[in-house]
Amino acid sequence: MNRILIIDDDIELCDLLTEYFTQEGFEVKAAHDSETGISQALLDEASLIVLDVMLPGQSGFEVLRHIREHSKVPVVMLTARGDEVDRIVGLEMGADDYLPKPFNPRELVARIRAIQRRAVTSHESHEPEAGKTLKVGDCELDPGARTVLLAGNSIELTAVEFSMLEILLRNAGQVVDRETLAKKVLGRRLSPFDRSIDVHVSSLRKKMGHQPNGSERIKTIRGTGYQYLVSH
């Protein structure tokens, strides 16, 4: 996972990041408009994309929508500092993480490394039991195939949502605190007022719906975390 595509119209920033990423051992390509960014994202098979929200032409959200229609490649979005709406929208649309501008390139590399570790850990931890499907109620999750069936029907989840659901299913009936989810799913600690985990859970809830008996699947434990409920 060392091929990075930067989609940002700030050429000076792209040059700075390209130099920094190259020193960190990454292969880097840059696109400065939405159309070129979409083309490169879908053709060049980047292993991770750094995507700015503010782009000429289509917005970063539109670029993300096009990417998600065809690819599950990890995406880190760059948002305006203090604009929480952009962050929430990006996460809801399938971004893996976000970073507000201006930022320290070292922090961006840390976010990318966290996504890499999550992917490696996920792969290694599932190899010995790739055939062991997790089944809780009408939900079946196959760690090896990275698939989820709900009442026999396949549902599409982002990499973050899949990892989050797996943790919740493995701890079905128990409360998983937000900090644990952040470390295992995002590969980092939550910063103050960081709602990343909450937004990912909200998106997961929307995709999964309620239990067959009408009750909720993922319960919020106020001030603590989340619990996947076991229906009786």
Q: What is the pLDDT along the chain (232 residues), one digit of tens a residue?
A: 689 999 999 999 999 999 999 999 999 999 999 999 999 998 877 899 999 999 988 999 999 999 999 888 999 999 886 678 888 888 888 899 999 998 999 999 999 998 888 766 555 544 444 458 899 999 999 998 889 999 999 999 988 899 999 999 999 999 999 999 998 888 888 877 788 899 999 999 999 999 988 889 999 999 899 999 987 6
Q: Which pair of tokens denotes residue 108?
A: 């961006």
Given 120, 150, 172, which residue is the final one in a domain? 120
28 and 109 share one domain: yes
Q: Which of 101, 120, 139 is the last residue of a domain?
A: 120
Whether residue 25 lies inside any domain: the answer is yes
The verdict on 199 and 158 lying in the same domain is yes
pLDDT at 139: 95
Task: Indicate if 80 and 136 belong to the same structural domain.
Answer: no
**Do the domain assignments include residue 125?**
no
* Residue 207 lies inside a defined structural domain of this protein: yes
Total length of the chain: 232
Residue 166 lies in a domain: yes
Cα-Cα end-to-end distance for the chain: 42
CA–CA distance from 209 to each of 116, 179, 206 (Å)? 30, 24, 5
66 falls within a domain: yes
- 106 shares a domain with 178: no
Same-domain check for residues 11 and 46: yes
Total domain count, the chain: 2
Residues 167 and 197 reside in one and the same domain: yes
96 and 135 co-located in one domain = no
| Whole-number pLDDT of residue 126 | 45
Domain with 47 in it: what CATH number? 3.40.50.2300
Which of these three, 72, 91, 120, is where a domain ends? 120
User: Same structural domain for residues 159 and 207?
Assistant: yes
User: Residue 7's domain spans which residues?
Assistant: 3-120
Which CATH number fits the domain that encloses residue 187? Answer: 1.10.10.10
104 shares a domain with 147: no
Q: What does the pLDDT look like over 152-190, one tens digit per residue? A: 999 999 888 999 999 999 999 999 999 999 988 888 888
Domain assignment present for 80: yes
139 and 208 co-located in one domain: yes
CA distance 33 to 49: 14
Q: Please state, in angstroms and as integers, the Cα–Cα distance from residue 6 to each residue in 51, 94, 99, 106, 115, following that order.
A: 6, 17, 14, 15, 16
pLDDT at 83 (0 to 100) = 73
34 and 95 both lie in a single domain: yes
141, 81: one domain: no
Would you say residue 147 lies in a domain? yes
203, 166 Cβ separation under 8 angstroms: no
